[in-house]
Structure 1
Amino acid sequence: MTNAVKIETVENVAVIEVSNPPVNALSQAVRAGLADCVAQANANETVQAVVICCEGRTFIAGADIREFGKPHAEPSLPAVIETIEASAKPVVASLHGTVLGGGLEVALGAHYRIAQPNTRFGLPEVTLGLLPGAGGTQRLPRVVPVKMALDMITSGRQIKVAEAQEAGLVDAVADQDDPRTAGIAYAMTLLSEGKLARPTGALPCNSAEDGLFDTARATLAKKMRGQFAPQKCVDAIENATKLPITEGLAQERAFFQDLMNGDQRSALIHAFFSERQVGKLPEIKDVSPRDIAAIGVVGGGTMGAGIAVSSLLAGLTVTLIERDQASADRATSSVSKMLEGSVKRGKLSQAAFDDILANRFAATSDYQDLANADIVVEAVFESLEVKKDVFGQLDAICKPGAILASNTSYLDVNAIAEMTKRPEDVIGLHFFSPAHVMKLLEVVVADKTSAEVVATGFAFAKKLRKVAVRSGVCDGFIGNRLLSHYRQAMDGVVIAGASPYDVDRALVNFGMAMGPFSVADLAGLDIGWATRKRLAPTRDPREMYAEFSDRLCEKDRFGRKTGRGFYIYEDGKPSADPEVLEIIAAERTDNGVKAQEISDQEIVDRYMAAMINEAARVLEEGIALRPLDVDVTLLNGYGFPRWRGGPMQYADTVGLDKILNDIKRLSQEDDFMWQPAPLLERLVAEGKTFADLNG
């Protein structure tokens, strides 16, 4: 027995209680304590039943993340669960809070399960590139339908008590608030009814409908393309329906170890930890954020309305400003429609919807209505002069201590801050569209932004349930600066001989959510066009500049919103456009370029080399503080495949020397575009990785 687990006998029931706050994770001490206490209970002649429960706000909520990446310490979780399942005396798991991962596997090792009414259950290992490795794939389909087990394990989704009880995962729902009391009462009821030990592994596996596994594999191949873990989950569950429990468990463990040693698991664990580390900044350590309750939003277009909705769903009060009342009314309609979508998806009750529009949202044309806002987010047209004008008005109206934030995607936040007498209160908050859906929020710190305002920006992001990344000031910040470079590389690939459709296909197959030309159509080609025209006076004459995007814009082809861009959109579905290929071919001819065959791998190599090289410059300039900040930005805002961990993790995986060699090879074609970043060269020379810089 350890301090993390204690045992007490109540009449003829041994109560084993886990206490490992905050989430009773399965540390080595908890594992050892469980095994020891179950053995003690079985050796005690007065004990007739065993209850496993937990102190605090939850039952065991999974593995101890502090042990990730460290040598394994005995006893293993599978061995502990086998000890529980082998108990000669009936074992009851009394559940509450979130019963996740190894916690649910422990519960499945028990013979009976009783749960509090608000308990949730899940096996989320697939989100970390793994499968349940302590019997979850073998025991779950023995207590719930195989189709449900497949869904839970391959998606990682959580289910509520009602669904769990109906399926057979839970035997009873408690009517006592205390899991310990409920577990003892249920154990005594079982004894009075003469119930004996009921090992889950001894139960027959539920049968699967014909074709279930083949259908699941095909579906997952599309939905979670390129990922190994979901397919291994299917294999393991199919084994449960065909093999004896001992063989199924052995196969499950072998699959688990294979995945544990794989690059995808490393990448997903990296993503998991990076998203928890990204907000830990030296400049805001021990700095208290300002209170945020009332939000102002200037601009009621798609972005402004999305920011308003995101804030309203977080429980904040929002005042939205438009240039006139007719525009304010349109913004109200946009906000209402977005909120109605949340009601339809079950994310918002009708009563809450009504309360928001009646009491927590207003759209007007009077800037004076922002006088009491705690933070104002400007989301107007991407013009420095327009934004400067807005900030001049806000500076005159907003109360002392109010934070003035710009949602600019590219522009100089320092120049915007100069329009106020409070530059220390000015910050960039770069939301991504649609703002009420996308998780990423770049917190852009200007030269004079105070630490308190930075801390408030991160606290605001947390309130909105967004992942915040700190960025310094430069054109495009972290994400859009990288985008401009890898998009330029892809323009070069197209001029060299590939089509936009080749590029998109290769990168989607690589794992990107969308290809860059599909993304451009979605965002609107006019946005990139405006940026190119803004930067034209500063463009270096040595820079390769592809004009085909400009030619499309000159024809008023701005993407999805006009029905034509790089693709033709009929009924919302994209299809290739021969006219685009003609425009590109004409540009090749004008420049004396003979089209060459370019492989999908070469497209991916150029794309990643451009992204990683520019990211190295962003790091060296201090725009991003750590490589993990770059990874979190690309994962949450740009559709980078999570199972690759982000561009910096990818670079470490394939080798920085490979990336550097690709850049040097490409520099023979274009020594302006493909100049190796000094940081990348230094890391290769020193035999280091980007991960070495994350400390």
Structure 2
Amino acid sequence: MTSTPVVVTSRRGSILVAHLANPPVNALSHAVRTGLSEALDEAERDVSIAGLVIAGQGRMFSAGADVTEFGQPLREPRLGGIVARLDAFPKPVVAAIHGSALGGGLELALASHARVASPGAKLGLPEVKLGLLPGSGGILRLPRLVGVPAALEVIAEGRELTADKAVELGLLEEITDGDPIDVACAVVMRLASENALPRASSRPFPPFGEAEQAEARKALAKKARGREAPQRAVDLFVMASATPFADAVPLEHEACRALVASPQSRALRHVFAAERAVARPAAIPAGAAPRPVAKVGVVGPGVMGRGIAIAMLDAGLPVILVGRALSSPDSAVGLIGRHYEGLVRRGTLTEEARAERLSRLVATTAMSALSGCGLVVETVSEALAAKREVIAAIDEVIGDRAILVTNTSYLDVADLASATSRRANFAGMHFFNPANVMKLVETVRTKDAAPDVLATLMAFGKRLGKTAVLVGPSEGFVANRMLSKRTREALFLLQEGASPAQVDRLLSGFGFPVGPFTLADMAGLDLMVATRAARADGMSERERGADIAEALVAAGRLGRKNGRGYYAYGEDGRPTDDPAVADLLAAHRASRGIATRSVADEEVLERCLLALANEGAKLVDEGAVERASDIDVIWTTGLGFPAHLGGPMFWASEMGLPNVLERLEHYARLVGDAFFAPADLVRKLAANDGRFE
């Protein structure tokens, strides 16, 4: 049986057209590279062929390398060899780009003698997002064509260029509304009539002095904290600026090959694969089609409800916003309007778009207005009785196929489902504040939720621009349940002698955007106290006794909102240590008979991070998530765990689960079995030196 060719050639007069035909993204697999090599052979040996056009079939030119080949032995022809042949080819080669030309796909285009594109084309070298860099001439050619600043944005930050921007920079020859292959053929014929072919490799590398290098490193250190590949890109730009092109080619390739084996790239590729896996949960049968959702409702116009409504408006949906008090819907509309006015002032939204979005918003106190909604989100206060009452009221007015969703952080979703007459149409969607900004949403299933309801909610999350992760019902679900364990250890560490600044310094140094106490001050200590009060029944006596936030609030310290919390805040808003907090902590320890000790930095990090991983292992064991990598997506997407370290479960696997087990047992002796007894899954995997993923 003959396999379908992945490079299809055809003739347009005297021009050979090579179509990349490896759906869905025309990845540059070994078979594609072989097909391109054969097309070059044909074009070179056939004297009737004036030149070559490379194009993509389907929806794009090419998204680049075949990720399934990462870490595998390289097979000829390699992409670098194809690129070198294109650069030196004696006949003109033009890339006809539609859709996306990314990674190795763009490197093919860069080595061609010219490039044309459709208006909506996107061009980029996104390898840095996987801890990698382009290794087939992208670093050497792109700066020669567009300059160093633009090339650094594309290569070290992973930004894409629009077709318009690419023309402005000189990367594209032309944008055409017609068939880009026709235009590319015309360019081939023009180039064939000229004496010399334009080659990026023949251009000088733009100046890249020490001052520019230092500025680039500083900016990238801020934008990509802790990541190696962006800084390595600067190294390679420096090398390319001082090295003849031919000598720089193998240096670029070897540097980029080395990154493939780096821990950061392994972690980022793990997250990349995990993000795609969560979109296809096994709990939703393949045949479960999402229900249509044309209009949506939000009940509860508080901070969370407004954020959810904005996310829905941004997604193009008509929104019914219901508030129970007469003033609340109108107030919410005003606040949502001010949000959009701010975007208009900043130039990120047009006045016309603002008006159009607000025209789709209806605010009311009448539950009956929800009758035509395909999906309604309840987002009133975290009180079981109040939520049950509102859910029952919504249930009375919506249709039999409408989906009712609760946005709760801790409450039992199955219990809340009992307030409805159609449990199969009920589930949870746990948004994170601010809901219009945060990318994560936990979709919470119950045993009664219909498969097509869950399919609808996963698709709806994607429609809102979120990363939706299907989780099971448990207190705090995944994110908050795990976060509570880190918070617990942070408070215990304060009790034992650590300072807020020490804990925050170490966790932010690890890669979190901020530490737990800076975060608490940002959220408001009164809110933290309210959350602790709501969860008090589920806490141990020691956890309830770690009532440091309560003591701070009693002392009038609410966090940033009044300039005093775990830290003091001056007019510039920067946190500084406050001796009053040290005194309060000393008094707290003394009142509980806790002897102060010096807590090592290593202990602070291990206790906070191992508490996460151990709780995650319990969640996997309980079936609250389908796989450990789902937890990594939740933490890297929603809770600031550095993606270049892969998430808490990948991080623990990299540490080695036998080592994790030993440290958990150590802290179980130090802190107590109730807090650090190793999860059964940790013991099981450690026995065979296994990994979570």
* TM-score, normalization by structure 2: 0.96
How far residue 451 of structure 1 moved from its aligned partner, in angstroms, is 1.5
- Return the offset for 1:357: 1.6
Secondary structure at the aligned position of 2:670 is classed as coil
Note the 1:211-230 alignment, pairs <5 A. 211-230=211-230
Which whole-Å CA distance do the structure 2 matches of 1:32 and 1:341 have between them?
53
Deviation at 1:519, TM superposition (A): 1.8
Q: Deviations over 1:472-518 (max 9, x none)?
A: 11111000000111111111112222111111111111111111112
User: How much has 1:272 moved relative to structure 2?
Assistant: 0.5
Q: Which amino acid counterpart does residue 130 of structure 2 have in structure 1?
A: L
Q: Deviations over 1:421-463 (max 9, x none)?
A: 1222111100011111111000111232221211111011011
Partner of 2:10: 8
Conserved in 2, the CA contact under 8 Å of 1:324 and 1:364?
no
Counterpart Cα distance in 2 of 1:501 and 1:342: 35
Q: Distance in 2 between matches of 1:160 and 1:346?
A: 19
Aligned residues: percent identity?
40
Q: Deviations over 1:58-86 (max 9, x none)?
A: 11121223434544332211111111111
The 8 Å contact of residues 95 and 114 in structure 1, kept in 2 or not, is answered as yes
Instruction: Specify the SS of the correspondent of 2:55.
Output: strand
CA–CA distance in structure 2, aligned partners of residues 597 and 544 of structure 1: 23
Measure how far apart 1:345 and its partner are: 5.5
Where does residue 582 of structure 1 map in the other structure?
A: 583
What stretches of structure 2 of length at least 5 have no aligned partner? none
Q: Does residue 32 of structure 1 match 2:30?
A: no
Alignment of 1:293-308 (within 5 A): 293-308=294-309
**Alignment match of 2:681 (pick from 667, 679, 682):** 679
**After the TM superposition, which residues 515-594 of structure 1 pair with which residues of structure 2 at under 5 Å, given as runs?**
515-541=515-541, 545-569=545-569, 570-594=571-595
What's 2:208 paired with? 208
Aligned in 2, Cα 1:345/1:456: closer, same or farther, shift over 3 Å? farther
1:154 Cα deviation after fit: 0.8
Distance 1:206 1:127, change over 3 A: same
Structure 2 CA distance for aligned equivalents of residues 512 and 432 of structure 1: 17
| Equivalence for 1:412 | 412
**1:181 counterpart residue number:** 182
Q: CA separation in 2, counterparts of 1:643 and 1:545?
A: 36
Shift of 1:2: 7.9
Q: Is the 8 A contact 2:191 2:197 kept in 1?
A: no
Tell whether the 8 Å contact from 1:2 to 1:30 is kept in structure 2 after alignment.
no
Residue number in structure 1 paired with 2:100: 98
Distance 1:75 1:495, change over 3 A: same
The 3 A distance-change label for structure 1 pair 447 and 347 is farther
Partner of 2:167: 165
Question: Match for residue 609 of structure 2?
Answer: 608
Q: CA deviation at 1:386?
A: 1.3
C-alpha contact 2:536 2:544 (8 A) present in aligned 1: no
User: How far did 1:210 drift?
Assistant: 4.8
Q: Secondary structure at the match of 1:26?
A: coil
Distance 2:587 2:248 in 1: 61
Whether the aligned pair in 2 keeps the contact of 1:2 and 1:32 (CA below 8 Å) is no
Q: Distance in 1 between matches of 2:619 and 2:527?
A: 23
Paired with 1:470 and 1:187, the residues of 2 have a C-alpha distance of 51
State the SS of the aligned residue for 1:371.
helix
Moved more, 53-62 or 595-604: 595-604
Give the Cα separation in 1 of the matches to 2:380 and 2:568.
Answer: 29
Rounded to whole Å, the distance in 2 between the matches of 1:13 and 1:291 is: 48
How much does 1:390 deviate? 0.7
**Counterpart among 43, 48, 51 of residue 49 in structure 1:** 51
Question: What are the equivalent positions in structure 2 for 1:624-635 lying under 5 Å apart?
Answer: 624-635=625-636
* TM-fit CA distance, 1:46: 1.8
Q: Residue 466 of structure 1 corresponds to which residue in structure 2?
A: 466
**Equivalent residue, structure 2, for 1:191:** 192
Flag the 1:352–1:321 CA change in 2: closer, same or farther, 3 A.
same
Name the counterpart of 1:137.
139
Aligned residue identity for 1:234: V
Q: Which residue is equivalent to 1:454? A: 454
**Amino acid in the other structure paired with 2:512:** M
Q: Bigger shift: 606-615 or 530-539?
A: 530-539
What is residue 112 of structure 2 aligned with on the other side?
110
Letter in 1 for 2:485: H
1:546 positional shift? 1.4
Could you tell me which amino acid in structure 2 is paired with residue 152 of structure 1? V
Deviations 1:377-400 (A, max 9, x none): 111111112111111211212221
Three-state SS of the structure 1 residue aligned to 2:576 is strand
Point out the more displaced range, 587-596 or 329-338: 587-596
Query: Relative to structure 1, is the Cα distance of residues 346 and 400 closer, same or farther in structure 2, using a 3 angstrom cutoff?
Result: farther
* Alignment partner, residue 647 of structure 2: 646
Q: Cα–Cα, structure 1 residues 562 and 380, in superposed 2: closer, same or farther, change >3 Å?
A: farther
Task: Describe the shift of the 1:184–1:345 C-alpha distance in structure 2 as closer, same or farther (beyond 3 A).
Answer: farther
Range that drifts further, 539-548 or 600-609: 539-548
Instruction: Provide Cα deviations, 1:70-106, integer angstroms capped at 9, x if missing partner.
Output: 4433221111111111101121112221111111111
Amino acid at match of 2:313: L
Give the match for residue 260 of structure 1.
Answer: 260
**How far off its partner does 1:282 sit?**
2.2
- The answer to whether the Cα contact below 8 Å between 1:377 and 1:405 also exists between their aligned partners in 2 is yes
Aligned pair in 2 of structure 1 residues 536, 11: CA closer, same or farther (>3 Å)?
A: closer
Q: Which residue of 2 aligns with 1:480?
A: 480
Displacement of 1:617 in angstroms is: 0.9
Counterpart Cα distance in 2 of 1:571 and 1:325: 39
CA distance in 1, matches of 2:230, 2:336: 37
Q: Could you tell me how far apart the structure 2 residues matched to 1:104 and 1:212 are?
A: 26
Q: Would you say the 8 A contact 1:130–1:256 is kept in 2?
A: yes
Check 1:46–1:302 CA distance in 2 against 1; reply closer, same or farther (3 A cut).
Answer: same
Local SS of the residue matching 1:428: strand
Under a length normalisation based on structure 1, what TM-score does the superposition of the two structures give?
Answer: 0.95
Contact 1:87 1:197 in 2 (8 A): no
What does residue 153 of structure 1 align with?
Answer: 155
**Residue pair 1:50, 1:90 contacting (<8 A) in 2 also:** yes
3-state SS of 2:283 partner = helix
Residues in 1 aligned to 2:573 and 2:428: alpha-carbon distance in whole angstroms = 33
Deviation at 1:544, TM superposition (A): 7.4
**Distance in 1 separating the partners of 2:474 and 2:284:** 21
The structure-2 alpha-carbon separation of the partners of 1:52 and 1:587, relative to structure 1 and needing over 3 Å to count, comes to: same
* CA-atom RMSD in angstroms: 1.9
Q: 1:332 aligns to what? A: 333
CA contact (8 A) 1:529 1:550 kept: yes
User: What one-letter code is carried by the residue in structure 1 that aligns with 2:256?
Assistant: F
Compute the displacement of 1:346 (Å).
Answer: 5.4
Q: How many residue pairs get matched?
A: 688
Match of 1:76 among 58, 61, 78: 78
Is contact 1:543-1:673 (8 Å) kept? no
In 2: Cα distance, 1:102 partner to 1:376 partner: 44
Which residue number corresponds to residue 500 of structure 1? Answer: 500
Aligned residue for 2:426? 426
85-94 or 338-347: bigger deviation: 338-347
Give the C-alpha shift of residue 252 in structure 1: 1.2
Q: Is the 1:17–1:55 contact (alpha carbons within 8 Å) kept by the matching residues of 2?
A: yes
Whole-Å separation in 1 of the counterparts to 2:462 and 2:656 = 34
Q: CA deviation at 1:295?
A: 0.8
Three-state SS of the structure 2 residue aligned to 1:284 is: coil
Corresponding letter in the other structure for 2:331: R
